[in-house]
Every structure is written in C-alpha cells, then in structure tokens.
C-alpha cells in the first residue's frame, strides 16, 4: 500500500512544479518600440475619453494590451521628463546644468540595451539637455549616448524661435511651417534647414518602417520620439482640415496613422509576437495656447504644473501573446521603463546612481500583478501615496501672451486630495484627514532627503 501511494504523489508534485515553472518563466527578450509623443494630454485620445479626435490605431492596441490610467511623466516639461526616462533617475536628483547627465552617458537606456546586443535608433526629438550651439558635435548627441542611428531634431520644434520673437500665442497663430529655424539632422549631418514642420510626423514614420524592416532579424530598440503635438503644431497635407478636433485633432490623427504604420510594419516583418510596443507622452498638454494645445480631460492643470494634468499621461503597452488585455489603475512613471527594459532584456540597472528609483513593471505586464509602485513625487511641489496627494506648492501655467512664468503659490497647510473620489483635484480634504497629511509629508521629506 505504501509503495502504491508514492507514484500519485510524485506525479502530483511534478505537475505542481511544472505549473510553477511555467508561471514564472520569462519570455525571450523582446524588440522594443517606444513611441514617445510631445505634449499630448491625458484626454487627447479616444481610448481616454476624447470624443472628437479619431484614434482607431491607438485604440486598437490599447484594447489588445494594457492601458494604464495612473501613469506619470518624470517631469511636467520636456527636458526633466526625458532625463528621467533615459536614466531611470528622478529628475530632482539630476544636476540642473544642461548636460547634467554627461558623465553618465554609458548608464543611459540606449547604452544599457546596446550592451545587451540590441541595435538602437532614435527618430525624432532628443532634448535630453539644453539646446547646444552645434548639436552635431555636442557631447550629449544621441550617437554619444548609446544610439547607433539618429534622425531628428536637437530639441523641441519651437526652439529656436523666429528671430527676435518668443514662443507666444500670437507667434503660434501666425507662423508657417518654415518660421522656426529648426534643423533636421541625420547622424551628424544637417539635411534640411529650416525643416518643413508639416512633414515631420510622416518622415519619422517612413524612417521607422524602413528601420524596422531592416532590423527584423535582430533584436532592436526603436525610440520614436515625435515632435508633435508640441506647439507650433503641423500635420501633413493629407491630414489637414480633417478632424472634428480642429488643427490639433489633425495632428493627433496623423500620429494615430503613424502608430498604425509602425504596427503594420512589425506584423509584415513577422515579429509582432516578439515586439513590445509602448505609447506614451512626455508630459501633459500645453492647454494655455488654446487650439495649439490639447486637453487633460477630467484632470486639473496642464504642462508645467504639478496638478494631475501636468504629469498624468496616456500609457499603453502592447505585446500580443504576452501582455493580456487589461486596464491598470496602479501608479507608474516613465522612468520605470528603464528597470522594466533591464528586467526583460537581462540588462543591469545603474542602481548606484543618485536618485535611481526606476521600478520594474514586468510583473504587472506579464502576470497582471498589482503595480509595484505606490508613490510618486511631482518635482518638489506635490507627492502622491496611494489614493492621496498633497500639494505643498503650485505653479500656474505659463502666460501665453508674454511667455513669462507666473509666481509659485506655497501653502502654509498642504492641500490634500483623494484622487480615487476626486480625480479633478477640486476638494481639499486636509482638514478632515490631518493624519494623512502628516504621513504624506513625512514620506515626501524622506524621498527628497535621500538625495
């Protein structure tokens, strides 16, 4: 009797062990396509509630992948967001000079992936530092930071501004596609100056399709960093005057077309199940510029503010056969992509760098586990922990007429909002929950004190 009971037990043990092994097995390192748009708001896509802009291609990958609803940009403006994204470090810990990451170029995301055998390319806007006098020889040029191939602009499409002018609402109202003296650069060679801004999205897309097809037999990382929909906004002639969302909607709908072209190129190349595609934005919309900016939807605030509208952005993860369709409400940030990519590819994160707080999201992406992140610091003005958020200060949007920054308001008693019941940050509940205010202040101080 004893001997007859051993075999079933061994079989049961083997089945359990095999099931566990299958559950924890990681997929092979994927190709990675990171589509990073500029100044697109939380409410600019149909899959995030927009009723005017038609975005069927983005909606499709959102429905077939994971759509995150509490995903943050590292900063509320271009450069801090990109510093966090490329380094995995919170931008408040990175030195302020333009080239604050110059000594850490080998620790940036593309360099990390290149060491794992990935071919690497950036198409579009770089803007990891300030705007250099000669980008072709800049020490922070993408080719110095781990990219094999580069085609795009040094910074935003409004830098530099037209001679003798600032980037104001009036300038955006009256400019044309050649008004801003922005160069288009391939590698280190200027190929067009000033660039025709109506063609930027189309050119990057065509370049992306060609590059994907050329790399389909190798592991690759493609960083497709669109200049649009950052003001001044332009769409190619085929997309002009088409959208119910006006000129801004035209630009968003061309970006949606671009996403469709990229996904189709991956499918035609037979690598769809081997490719992770991420779509997100660098910060919230520049709504103060009216028709030249987007919308944060139900969120308060916009670009350059630490209200939710300044940093909560769309984020979609698509990897057929690996990521199961879901809506994820947990907290995450674009700087978490560093640790996530490192985990998926076997790379080594730079854990010794000050402010490296990147968190691996792969348990959520692969297994549907809760997000491992529970807190987020909005620069030095605000802090979120779980459902609650405090503001110790706030800064209004830029003045669209003068382009001057408006003064920051500092609160003697921090404002407290319950984001689960008050997504628009309308009702301050600090007086009702002083213990929560104290706890978040303590967590915030501990975070900033760890520098």
Name the pTM for this structure: 0.94
Please compute the mean of the pLDDT values over residues 53-76 and round it to a whole number: 98
Active site residue 47: no
The catalytically annotated residue of 90, 127, 141, 379 is 127
Q: Quick one: 18 exposed, middle or buried, by C-beta within 10 A (0-12, 13-18, 19+)?
A: exposed
Please compute the mean of the pLDDT values over residues 392-410 and round it to a whole number: 90
Residue 258 in tokens: 């671009």
Q: What angle do CA 283, 90, 319 make, to 5 degrees?
A: 60
Range with lowest mean pLDDT among 42-56, 242-256, 402-416: 402-416
Give the CA distances from residue 319 to residues 29, 217, 274, 333, 339, in Å, rounded to whole numbers and listed in that order. Answer: 12, 18, 8, 19, 18
pLDDT tens string 347-397: 999 988 999 999 999 999 999 999 999 999 999 999 999 999 999 999 998
Please compute the mean of the pLDDT values over residues 170-174 and round it to a whole number: 97
pLDDT at 451: 59
pLDDT at 26: 80
Say which residue the tokens 């088409």 belong to: 242
Strand partners for 33:
222, 277
pLDDT at 1: 33
Closest CA to 199 of 213, 182, 214, 211: 182
Mean pLDDT score of the chain, rounded to an integer?
93
Please compute the mean of the pLDDT values over residues 47-64 and round it to a whole number: 98
Closest CA to 225 of 341, 124, 327, 375: 124
pLDDT at 100: 73
What domains sit in the chain, N to C, each tagged with a CATH number?
31-371 (3.40.720.10), 377-449 (3.30.1120.10)
Active site residue 448: no
């Amino acid at each position: 009797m004893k001997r007859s009971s051993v075999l079933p037990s061994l079989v049961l043990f083997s089945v359990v062990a095999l099931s566990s092994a299958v559950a924890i097995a990681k997929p092979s390192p994927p190709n990675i396509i990171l589509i990073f748009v500029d100044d697109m708001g939380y409410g600019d896509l149909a899959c995030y509630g927009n009723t005017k802009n038609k975005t069927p291609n983005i909606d499709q990958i959102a429905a077939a992948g994971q759509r995150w609803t509490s995903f943050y940009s590292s900063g509320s403006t271009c450069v801090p967001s990109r510093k966090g994204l490329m380094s995995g470090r919170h931008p408040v810990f990175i030195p302020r000079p333009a080239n604050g990451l110059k000594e850490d170029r080998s620790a940036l995301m593309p360099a990390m992936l290149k060491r794992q055998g990935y071919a690497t390319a950036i198409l579009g806007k770089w803007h990891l530092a300030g705007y250099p006098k000669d980008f072709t020889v800049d020490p922070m040029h993408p080719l110095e930071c781990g990219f094999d191939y580069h085609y795009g602009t040094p910074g935003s499409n409004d830098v530099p501004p037209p001679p003798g002018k600032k980037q104001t609402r009036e300038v955006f109202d009256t400019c044309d596609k050649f008004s801003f003296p922005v160069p288009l650069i391939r590698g280190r060679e200027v190929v067009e100056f000033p660039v025709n801004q109506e063609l930027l999205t189309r050119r990057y897309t065509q370049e992306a399709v060609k590059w994907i097809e050329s790399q389909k037999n190798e592991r690759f990382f493609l960083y497709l960093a669109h200049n649009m929909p950052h003001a001044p906004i332009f769409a190619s002639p085929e997309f002009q005057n088409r959208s119910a969302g006006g000129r801004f909607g035209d630009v968003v709908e061309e970006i949606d077309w671009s996403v469709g072209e990229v996904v189709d190129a991956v499918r035609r190349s037979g690598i769809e199940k081997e490719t992770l595609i991420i779509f997100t934005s660098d910060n919230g919309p520049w709504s103060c510029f009216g028709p030249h900016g987007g919308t944060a939807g139900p969120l308060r605030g916009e670009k350059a503010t630490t209200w939710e509208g300044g940093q909560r952005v769309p984020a979609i993860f698509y990897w057929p056969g690996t990521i199961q369709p879901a809506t994820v409400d947990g907290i995450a940030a674009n700087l978490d992509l560093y640790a996530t990519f490192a985990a998926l590819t076997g790379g080594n994160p730079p854990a010794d760098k000050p402010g490296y707080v990147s968190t691996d999201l792969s348990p959520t992406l692969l297994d549907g586990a809760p997000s491992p992140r529970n807190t987020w610091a909005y620069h030095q003005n605000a802090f979120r922990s779980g459902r609650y958020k405090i503001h110790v200060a706030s800064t209004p949007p830029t003045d669209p007429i003068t382009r001057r920054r408006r003064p920051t308001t500092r609160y003697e008693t921090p404002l407290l909002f319950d984001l689960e019941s008050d997504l628009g940050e309308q009702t301050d509940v600090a007086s009702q929950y002083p213990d929560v205010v104290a706890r978040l202040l303590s967590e915030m101080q501990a975070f900033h004190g760890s520098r």
